[in-house]
Amino acid sequence: MAETDRQTEAAKFEADYTPGSASAGIVQPRDVTLAGPPDELTLSCGRRLGPIRVRYETLGTLNEARDNAVLIIHALTGDAHVAGLHAAGDAKTGWWDIMVGPGKPIDTDKYFVICSNCLGGCSGTTGPADPNPATGRPWGLDFPIITVEDMVHVQRLLIDHLGIEKLLCVTGGSLGGQQALAWPILYPDRVATTMVIAAAARLSPQAIAWNAIGRNAIVSDPDFNGGQFYGGPLPRRGLAIARMIGHITYLSEEKMRWKFGRQLRNAAGPAYDFSSEFEVETYLDHQGNRFVERFDANSYLYFTKAMDYFDLVAQHGTLDAAMARASSRFLVVSFTTDWLFPAYQSREIVNALIRTGKRATYANLKTDHGHDAFLLEFPELHRIVRGFLDESAKQCRVR
């Protein structure tokens, strides 16, 4: 590819990452404490956890029938701030602002949108950085191992707290897509429709391997201190490397080639040392260094382990048996260049849904963006989501 073409594509890539207008306005995070004694949550690992603080945000208005609620679940490094701004003048909108808001595909003039930080996170919901009630010190690695199903159970407690009997839709991508897929299996009577985006019924061995490398980078950092780094030096280098590894899997080879090529930062040529010289190297350095300012290393360990453990086949015997439990209508979306959650995994879900007589719509969207495509300006995805959700509201007779 010629250099001028590469620069043009790189500029287009950056434009694609520009968030949409913050039409949702100012959104205030809220906290609620759930699963207090004696009603602690029994986790998949057998341990009990409670009380559990949950941070969540809502947009739009819950209608009188309380049947227009859409639960959106964030991906690996996301949080409850799905759209809008926290304060006037904020430079950054919510992580799915391009999708959520008045007049957008998930239209907050029509739907009551809920997004919470997942159990084990570091953005307001109980996780390993929080105090262990037994010791008063941060949990660290004493925090119990959690699963995707545990995260869903906590979300169900939040939905109960909000007085919502049945969700119009639950949706998410990546780790959020795993949770969205688990919802109608665990709670078939609580979900009318489900949108599963860039996810799978179980991770491939390759995806598990990438997660393992990231975790090893973190625990090998000299400052990790067995997970008890709070109040001392943070394992910044290990977490930054884990983010670099993860970020590579979110992009496609085509997008990396168009954005970076083999361009050196120094026009004079190679430095003949081991510094970061290629543009792709400095980009990954930037991503890693920025990430450590906002995310907890232990939460990264717990979230990636939860992704690894998620396996509907192992839990239910067959994928058909798992899908047979659901009663919702499904939209499943994959992307042609997503090699972290390849399209064949989405087709496995859809085929199981069809074999078990479920209503399913499937789209494998052509894109050069790789796994991260669901987070970007993608008109075709936006049309599909809007159409599916509006048709779902019509079929469910949402008023």
If one counts every other C-beta atom within 10 angstroms of the C-beta of residue 172, the result is 28
Token pair, residue 256, equals 């990396």
Q: Is 371 one of the catalytic residues?
A: yes
Task: Round to whole Å and give the CA distance between 191 and 182.
Answer: 11
- Residue from 276, 213, 212, 288 nearest 247 by CA: 288
Choose the catalytic residue: 296, 338, 368, 372: 338
Q: Is 174 one of the catalytic residues?
A: yes
Written in H, E and C, the secondary structure of 71-94 is EEECCCCCCCCCCCECCCCCCCCC
Kindly state the helix (H) or strand (E) to which residue 208 belongs, with its residue range.
helix 205-219
Choose the catalytic residue: 74, 153, 369, 371: 371
Choose the catalytic residue: 16, 79, 150, 174: 174
Token pair, residue 210, equals 């990438």
Task: Round to whole Å and give the CA distance between 109 and 208.
Answer: 40
Contact 94, 86 (CB under 8 A): no
CA trace torsion 97, 101, 103, 106 (10° rounding): 90
- Residue from 399, 383, 398 nearest 331 by CA: 383
Task: Round to whole Å and give the CA distance between 205 and 211.
Answer: 10
Q: Is 382 one of the catalytic residues?
A: no
Residues annotated as part of the active site: 174, 338, 371
